[in-house]
Amino acid sequence: MLRQSLITLGQYFRLLGLVFQKPTKQRLFMRQIRDEIYYLGVNSTAIVAVISFFVGAAVTAQIKYNIDSPFMPDYALGFATRKAIILEFAPTIIGIILAGKIGSHIASQLGTMRISEQIDAIEAMGINSANYLILPKIIACFIFCPILIMLSIVTALVGGWTIGVNVAGLTTYQYIYGIQFEHNSFDLLYAIIKIVVFSFLISSMSSFYGYNVKGGALEVGRASTKAIVNSSIAIIVFNMVLTQLLIA
């Protein structure tokens, strides 16, 4: 079991070694990144926005019902919502959603290419297939994940505002004052660092599972599941580690 995990880890790093090399054709590489940003990123905006909105609303409602007291200033609700969303909810939840959406997409795409010999065909032409197929995905994730996290934070705060104004009886001014209270730009950086790490875990791990599929369509499905489960676990573990490192 442990031995097998170490072997898998070794194969993972060896694949990364192949991935991080100079692309064969620079211009083509740029075009690929652009396409991947579209397929992986732009297509994820709707789901990120919807989920963030409702998570933001739920977080605000929880804070309101659980820690509401006459001693709490009006701006506390907005402030607590902001902290919770930027520091934990947005990075982790978006990480997990992307693990599901992007992870399964990448793993099944590469897995299908593997079993239908398309990866062999690329290799047979003298092209480093790992580099050609995987590097654009990783870079695209680096570029759009910080944008997605911003989108997520904004929509979650809007979700919180909906609850704050309609249910908790705040005015818009009080809520906005709350979310601006003791503004700390490190919090945002913190969220971005987290999502960048998560996006690397998602794109590289699901590429690893897809790229190494052996067998048929059934194995592609299995690789896709493995990619989602394992990158979600990795995200949760790294979230804890990063929280310790960055806060301490």
Partner 1 sequence: MIDIQHVNKSFEDKQVLFDVSIIFEKGVNNLIIGQSGSGKTVLMKCLLGLLTPESGKILFDERNFVGADTKTLHDVRKEVGTVFQNSALFDSMSVLKNVMFPLDMFTEWNYIQKAERAIDCLEQVGLENVEDKMPSDLSGGMRKRVAIARAIANRPKYLFCDEPNSGLDPYTSSLIDDLIAELTYRHKMTTVINTHDMNSVLKTGDRINFVYKGHIAWQGTSAEILSSGSTELVEFLESSELTKRLLHKN
**Number of residues in contact with partner 1 under rule CB under 8 A:** 17
Among 28, 30, 189, 245, binds partner 1 (CB under 8 A): 28
Q: Which of 118, 131, 212, 225 binds partner 1 (CB under 8 A)?
A: 118
Check binding of 126 to partner 1 (CB under 8 A): yes
Answer yes or no: are the C-beta atoms of 60 and 164 closer than 8 Å.
yes
Tell me how far, at minimum, the Cβ of 222 lies from partner 1, in Å.
Answer: 21
13 binds partner 1 (CB under 8 A): no
Residue 125 lies near partner 1 (rule: CB under 8 A): yes
- Distance, CA of 168 to CA of 62 (rounded, Å): 11
Query: Which residue pairs from 117-121 have beta carbons closer than 8 angstroms and sit at least 24 positions apart in sequence?
Result: 119/211
Q: Which is nearer to partner 1, 99 or 115 (CB)?
A: 115
Choices 1-9, 23-31, 161-169, 208-216; region in contact with partner 1 by CB under 8 A: 23-31
Task: In angstroms, give the least distance from the CB of 104 to partner 1.
Answer: 16
Nearer to partner 1 (CB atom), residue 174 or residue 207: 207
Would you say 178 and 77 are in contact if contact means Cβ atoms under 8 Å apart?
yes
- For the bound state, the minimum distance from the C-beta of residue 89 to partner 1, rounded and expressed in Å, comes to 35
Please provide the DSSP assignment of 34-54 as one string: HHHIIIIIGGGHHHHHHHHHH
Q: Does 123 bind partner 1 (CB under 8 A)?
A: yes
Residue 113 C-beta: closest distance to partner 1, Å: 8
Residue 116 found at the interface with partner 1 (CB under 8 A) = yes
Question: What's the sign of the alpha-carbon dihedral 195, 34, 43, 119?
Answer: negative
Distances (CA, A) of 24 to 37, 48, 119, 132: 20, 34, 16, 8
124 binds partner 1, rule: CB under 8 A: yes
For residues 181 and 230, the answer to whether their CB atoms sit within 8 Å is no
Residues 157-196 as x/- pattern, contact with partner 1 by CB under 8 A? ----------------------------------------
Footprint of partner 1 on 81-110 (CB under 8 A): 109
Match 């065909």 to its residue by tokens. Answer: 121
Contact with partner 1 (CB under 8 A) among 11, 24, 166, 184: 24
> Any contact of residue 219 with partner 1 (CB under 8 A)?
no
Q: Alpha-carbon distance 119 to 124, whole Å? A: 8
**If you write DSSP's letter for every residue of 159-198 in order, what string do you get?**
HHHHHHHHTS---HHHHHHHHHTT--HHHHHHHHHHHHHH
> What does the alpha-carbon distance between residue 154 and residue 178 come to, in Å, rounded to a whole number?
14
Q: How far is the CB of 124 from partner 1 (least distance, A)?
A: 4
Helix axes 172-180, 129-166, angle to 10 degrees: 140
Binding-site ranges for partner 1 (CB under 8 A): 24-25, 28, 109, 112-113, 116-118, 120-121, 123-128
